[in-house]
């Protein structure tokens, strides 16, 4: 069977080939669903992994997604590696008999494919400005080399100059620097509705990880409203229609970190800390709260990012959620996350020189030579410069070492689901057809049946129900008992007085959307 490799980034076509091959090779375990279609006509695929004949939705669900940010293709690679590990590794596969694993490997196929195939540098996607907006830059491959790189032209007011030792890369101009030549830089493309001034406006840059319905803000990256675009809307609908999900991981490859939100409740905060601390031990990636991410290097980044998946999953659905930032090219350069955040400019001459040397030693190209081009609006420009994805991506050799550790981390957390058991079950006749049934229900799993109890969302209420079935009549209460949530090793005592003829089978059933359920049948005397 075709398999996924740790040391490469995948095009949309290759992603489709791999997920379909997984389904075809394991149709009894792997289900593939076309969740929605993007504006670019690509399918957002959802994968369900479960072994056995019962309904996958009746088991605890573990959720993993990648590809929200276009240049962060290593998250997609990890999702595919995880998929094939669960299918092909006998030990890892055992978890699929106990829980259901959901993988959405590429949430943003339009943007991710453009970055891999064309070298385009975008956060998630570019959205056109209103029709008729003057001087709108539309990214295009003008010179026909299959890539969308950069355009530059000389301008004494320009803020860029050639990198020392590599004229294909540019570095920012420092205050007081008069040693040109200096350049203006823009994304390769045409200018619609040009007025001939040479000015241009960039398209709106969308961030699919700012478009979730929790703390959403009305800004350019957030779109017009939460879920405005198919990518974020698909994820929101998936969580809504899969209430069995007990944990969620969003895989990125920004500056290396395991990012988590510390909930207000102590037990909830302790759970998140246990998850990320285990991840830190296995992977070597530093756990950090969102409020500190970016600030421990002196950044003035906001303490809470608006409309982020992690906050949406946790506050709305009560799911412990972690953003796994796998790292980037500067981490491969040997810089710690603190160093990266503290750096005034990652494209300064010193770091660019090191980046060039690193990629030359590893045989990867991070810049294309500048080639003259007669632009229809700007006149003579040069096209070339930084191949954004290659320069941003982590080295393949580092991925080979890191991704198996991430997979190990994720598979260990898969075993942390809540698990209900029924113990001390007894059935005693009290005379005639009256029977007393007693049972204790206990959570023997590693997570609360309502994983984040401090979550305030309506959909976060994961209730445990214990039901007695088979009796003719229940005297003292309704057959179904709603007992709220159960912490690990917490138990509750239940008692029913019912009418049941001798020999009647009475079934006690404990159920919770996010937990393994339990069922015991006793016989009335």
Q: What is the pLDDT of residues 459-518, one digit of tens each?
A: 998 999 999 999 999 998 789 999 989 999 999 999 999 999 999 999 999 999 999 999
Residue 87, helix vs strand vs coil: helix
pLDDT of residue 18: 97
Q: Are 503 and 524 in contact (CB under 8 A)?
A: yes
pLDDT of residue 386: 85
pLDDT of residue 361: 84
**DSSP labels, 227-252:** T-SHHHHHHHHHHHT-TTEEEEEEEE
Mean pLDDT of 308-328: 95
CA 185 → CA 137, 203, 287, 322, 420, distances in Å?
12, 15, 37, 36, 60
* pTM of the model as a whole: 0.94
What single-letter DSSP state applies at residue 69? S
Say if residue 297's pLDDT is above 70.
Answer: no
Q: How confident is the model at residue 359 (pLDDT cuts 50, 70, 90)?
A: confident
Q: How far apart are CA 416 and CA 60, in angstroms?
A: 10
Q: What is the pLDDT of residues 434-455, one digit of tens each?
A: 999 999 999 999 999 999 999 9
Residue predicted with more confidence, 389 or 289: 289
pLDDT of residue 366: 81
Residue predicted with more confidence, 341 or 414: 414
CA 63 → CA 75, 93, 268, distances in Å?
14, 16, 19
Mean pLDDT of 220-228: 94
CB burial string 265-279: b at 16+ within 10 A, e below: eeebbebbeebbebb
Residue predicted with more confidence, 353 or 178: 178
Mean pLDDT of 43-57: 95
pLDDT of residue 301: 55
Q: Are 278 and 415 in contact (CB under 8 A)?
A: no
Say if residue 286's pLDDT is above 90.
Answer: yes
Q: How far apart are CA 95 and CA 97, in angstroms?
A: 5
Backbone φ, ψ for residue 370 (5° rounding): -75, 130
Q: Which helix (H) or strand (E) holds 507?
A: strand 505-512
């Amino acid at each position: 069977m075709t398999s996924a490799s740790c040391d490469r980034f995948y095009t949309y076509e290759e992603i489709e080939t791999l997920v379909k091959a997984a389904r075809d090779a394991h149709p009894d375990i792997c289900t593939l669903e076309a969740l929605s279609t993007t504006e670019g006509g690509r399918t957002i695929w959802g994968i369900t992994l479960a072994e056995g004949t019962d309904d996958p939705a009746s088991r605890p669900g573990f959720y993993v997604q990648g590809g929200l940010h276009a240049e962060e293709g290593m998250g997609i690679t990890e999702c595919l590696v995880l998929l094939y590990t669960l299918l092909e590794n006998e030990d890892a596969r055992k978890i699929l008999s106990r829980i259901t694993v959901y993988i959405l490997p590429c949430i943003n196929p339009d943007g991710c494919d453009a970055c891999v195939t064309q070298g385009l540098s975008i956060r998630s996607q570019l959205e056109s400005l209103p029709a008729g907006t003057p001087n709108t830059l539309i990214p295009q491959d003008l010179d026909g080399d299959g890539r969308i790189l950069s355009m530059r032209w000389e301008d004494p007011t320009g803020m860029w100059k050639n990198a020392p030792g590599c004229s294909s890369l540019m570095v920012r101009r420092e205050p007081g620097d008069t040693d040109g030549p200096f350049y203006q830089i823009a994304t390769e493309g045409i200018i619609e509705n040009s007025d001939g001034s040479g000015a241009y406006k960039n398209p709106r840059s969308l961030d699919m990880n700012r478009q979730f319905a929790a703390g959403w803000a009305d800004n350019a990256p957030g779109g017009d409203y939460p879920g405005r675009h198919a990518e974020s809307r698909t994820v929101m609908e998936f969580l809504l229609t899969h209430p069995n999900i007990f944990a969620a991981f969003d895989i990125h490859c920004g500056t290396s970190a395991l990012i988590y939100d510390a909930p207000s409740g102590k037990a909830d905060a302790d759970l998140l800390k246990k998850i990320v601390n285990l991840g830190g031990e296995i992977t070597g990636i530093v756990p950090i709260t969102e409020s500190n991410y970016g600030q421990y290097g002196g950044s003035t980044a906001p303490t809470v990012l608006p409309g982020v998946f992690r906050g949406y999953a946790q506050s709305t659905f009560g799911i412990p959620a972690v953003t796994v930032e796998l790292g980037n090219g500067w981490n491969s350069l040997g810089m710690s996350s603190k160093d990266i955040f503290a750096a005034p400019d990652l494209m300064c001459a010193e770091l660019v020189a090191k980046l060039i040397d690193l990629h030359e030693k590893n045989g990867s190209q991070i810049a294309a030579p500048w080639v003259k081009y007669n632009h229809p609006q700007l006149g003579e420009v040069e096209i070339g410069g930084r191949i954004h994805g290659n320069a941003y991506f982590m080295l393949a050799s580092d991925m080979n070492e890191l991704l198996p550790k991430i997979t190990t981390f994720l598979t260990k957390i898969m075993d942390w689901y809540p698990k209900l058991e029924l113990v001390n079950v007894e059935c005693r006749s009290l005379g005639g057809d009256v029977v007393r049934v007693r049972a204790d229900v206990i959570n023997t799993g590693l997570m609360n049946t309502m994983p984040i109890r401090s979550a305030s969302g309506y959909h976060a209420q994961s209730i445990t129900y214990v039901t007695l079935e088979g009796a003719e009549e229940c005297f003292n209460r309704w057959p179904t008992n709603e007992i709220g949530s159960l912490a690990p090793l917490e138990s509750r005592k239940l008692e029913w007085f019912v009418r049941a003829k001798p020999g009647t089978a009475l079934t006690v059933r404990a159920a919770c959307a996010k937990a393994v359920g339990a069922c015991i049948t006793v016989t009335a005397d």
